[in-house]
């Protein structure tokens, strides 16, 4: 086996495996290094997203949502199912099966595209050299014309609540509970905390979410955030804002509990939980990845410094995904992976960083793109607002799933869509219509003049666009401007 390549990619998460496949499709001899080991101690591809992130969490979210549907909502449809029970180990096993299928799929894609998968831990030791350390400790050196670093990210630990992987867990451990905790604490009311908290709340946990910030989902439009908070609280999530964790104590005995100490506006508080999930964010995985002699620049938070085309300060080295600036989102990493591959081939591909959609996969989902009202006000932009609630949508009523709304923001002068914010069923899928529209600089009128299927949830998007110009049909039109 030759150790010389055109491109060596470190990491096979969304940014890495996509970069490797696209490089191979463009004619580059490509290798992709991966160190991830599954429960059977075998190397698997897909990184955090497929193994312990996006995919397994959505599998559990879907399973737990079906449980709630059967337990609480089937009767509205005239369906009686008797007592509903949850088999947690079976649910976890199903999640593992989904993960296995997708990680095996990446391996198959590598084979089909002639990407050489290399098992082990990669380290950049030169502008064109990478060492790979196998799990048995043996090493090999690869040379490459270009190196793409896509090593991903890892959960952030905080000193007050050290992870013991049993009672106090990170997001990975929260995917492996074998029974429903009676009392569950979650530190962090961000995407990960809300999604994992939702899973176990649906299955019967008393869930308390402790968030240090005073504002709920500060990056989300305030009206949508307020509505989301109301819905999630109604579902049983006890979200305590302005609660800063200061310490924790594990009990003694076979079945441990953890008492969390925190401060809020009323002073020092304590809560005791059977399990505690620490979900305060993630950090780039760059330690032990780069030999200092190579000279790749990092910022103060450990991210690899790159330009808009994901090039580092070393001409032969690129970086993409969670190890670089911007939101830690799989789809952002995938697009960067494609961009890097195509630029290596001489193409002028760009990523539109102004249009990176964000989604929280609670139920209802929370999704947004572009600017929110607060940002537009701060920038002094004159804008129109179109709102449409799902309770006025025929398809949502038929499905008995009417929580939430669509909010569309358009420039008051040009009518160009500036942002869209949705809380509701299938918000992620509905938002994508507006992402595409904004990519082509569409106006609210363009969406309003487009024919939508009936009945469909997407009609709420249509009506919100109409409402931005005072033309909504299925709801009263209100004052349109800020």
> Are 52 and 191 in a shared domain?
no
In a domain, 430, yes or no: yes
Among the three residues 297, 314, 344, which one is the final residue of a domain in this structure? 344
The answer to whether residue 199 scores a pLDDT higher than 70 is: yes
In a domain, 482, yes or no: no
The predicted-structure confidence for 426-476, as pLDDT tens digits, reads as follows 999 999 999 999 999 999 999 999 999 999 999 999 999 999 999 999 999
CATH number (domain holding residue 375): 3.30.390.30
- Tell me, yes or no, whether 88 and 114 share the same domain: yes
Q: What H or E segment, with its residue span, contains residue 467?
A: helix 459-468
269 shares its domain with 295 = no
Both 265 and 305 in one domain: the answer is: no
State what percent of residues in the chain have pLDDT above 70. Answer: 99
Residue 421 pLDDT class (50, 70, 90 cuts): very high
Predicted confidence (pLDDT) at residue 414 exceeds the cutoff of 70: yes
Quote the DSSP letter at residue 252.
P
Q: How many domains does the chain have?
A: 3
**Domain assignment present for 446:** yes
The per-residue pLDDT of the chain, averaged, comes to: 97
Q: What is the DSSP letter of 71?
A: I
The C-alpha atoms of residue 371 and residue 83 are separated, in whole angstroms, by 46
Q: Is residue 451 part of a domain?
A: yes
Residue 481 tokens, joined: 């401007």
Q: How do residues 213-259 score in pLDDT, each as one tens digit?
A: 999 999 999 999 999 999 999 999 999 999 999 999 999 888 899 99
pLDDT at 479: 57
Average of per-residue pLDDT across 308-328: 98
Q: Which residues are catalytic, by number?
A: 454
Same domain, 85 and 221: no
Find the CATH number of the domain harbouring 236. 3.50.50.60
Report residue 1's pLDDT band, with 50, 70 and 90 as the boundaries. low
Do 139 and 251 fall into the same domain?
A: no
pLDDT for position 268? 98
Instruction: State residue 255's pLDDT score.
Output: 87
* pLDDT above 90 coverage of the chain, percent: 97
- Determine the structural domain holding residue 393 and report its residue range: 364-468
Give me the mean pLDDT over the 35-62 stretch: 97
pLDDT of res. 254: 82
Within 10 angstroms of residue 264's Cβ, the number of other Cβ atoms is 14
pTM score: 0.96
If asked whether residues 9 and 48 sit together in one domain, one would say: yes
Please give the angle made by the CA atoms of 189, 192 and 196, to the nearest 5 degrees. 95
Phi and psi torsions of 99, nearest 5°? -60, -45
């Amino acid at each position: 086996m030759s150790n010389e390549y055109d491109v060596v990619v470190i990491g096979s998460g969304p940014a890495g495996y996509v970069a490797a496949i696209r490089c191979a499709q463009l004619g580059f001899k490509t290798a992709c290094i991966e160190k991830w080991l599954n429960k059977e101690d075998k190397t698997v591809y897909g990184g955090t997203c497929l193994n312990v992130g996006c995919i397994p969490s959505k599998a559990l979210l879907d399973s737990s949502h079906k449980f709630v549907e059967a337990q609480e909502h089937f009767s509205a449809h005239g369906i009686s199912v008797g007592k509903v029970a949850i088999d947690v180990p079976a649910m976890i096993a199903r999640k593992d099966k989904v993960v296995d299928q997708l990680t095996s799929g990446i391996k198959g894609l590598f084979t089909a595209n002639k990407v050489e998968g290399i098992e082990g831990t990669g380290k950049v030791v030169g502008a064109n050299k990478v060492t790979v350390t196998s799990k048995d400790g043996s090493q090999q050196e690869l040379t490459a014309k270009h190196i793409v670093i896509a090593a991903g990210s890892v959960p952030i630990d905080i000193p007050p609540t050290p992870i013991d992987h049993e009672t106090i867990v990170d997001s990975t451990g929260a995917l492996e509970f074998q029974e429903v905790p009676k009392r569950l604490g979650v530190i962090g009311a961000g995407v990960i905390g809300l999604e994992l908290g939702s899973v176990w709340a649906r299955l019967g946990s008393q869930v308390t979410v402790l968030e240090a910030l005073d504002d709920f989902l500060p990056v989300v439009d305030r009206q949508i955030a307020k509505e989301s908070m109301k819905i999630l609280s109604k579902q049983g999530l006890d979200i305590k804002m302005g609660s800063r964790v200061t310490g924790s104590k594990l009990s003694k005995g076979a079945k441990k509990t953890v008492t969390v100490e925190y401060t809020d506006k009323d002073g020092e508080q304590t809560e005791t939980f059977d399990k505690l999930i620490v979900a305060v964010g993630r950090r780039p995985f760059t330690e032990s990845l780069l030999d200092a002699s190579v000279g790749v620049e990092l910022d103060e938070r450990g991210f690899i410094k790159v330009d808009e085309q994901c090039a580092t300060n070393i001409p032969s080295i690129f970086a993409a995904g969670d190890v670089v600036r911007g939101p830690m989102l799989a789809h952002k990493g995938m697009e960067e992976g494609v961009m890097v591959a195509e630029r290596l081939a001489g193409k002028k591909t760009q990523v539109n960083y102004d249009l990176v959609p964000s989604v929280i996969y609670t139920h209802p989902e929370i999704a947004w793109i572009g600017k929110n009202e607060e940002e537009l006000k701060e920038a002094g932009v004159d804008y129109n607002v179109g709102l449409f609630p799902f309770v006025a949508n025929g398809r949502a009523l038929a499905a008995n799933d009417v929580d939430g709304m669509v909010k569309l923001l358009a420039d008051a002068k040009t009518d160009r869509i500036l942002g869209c914010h949705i809380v509701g069923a299938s918000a992620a899928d509905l938002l994508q219509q507006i992402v595409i529209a904004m990519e082509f600089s569409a106006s609210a009128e363009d969406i309003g003049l487009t024919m939508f299927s009936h009945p469909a949830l997407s009609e709420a998007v249509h009506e919100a666009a109409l409402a931005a110009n005072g033309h909504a049909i299925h709801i009263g039109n209100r004052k349109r401007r800020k």
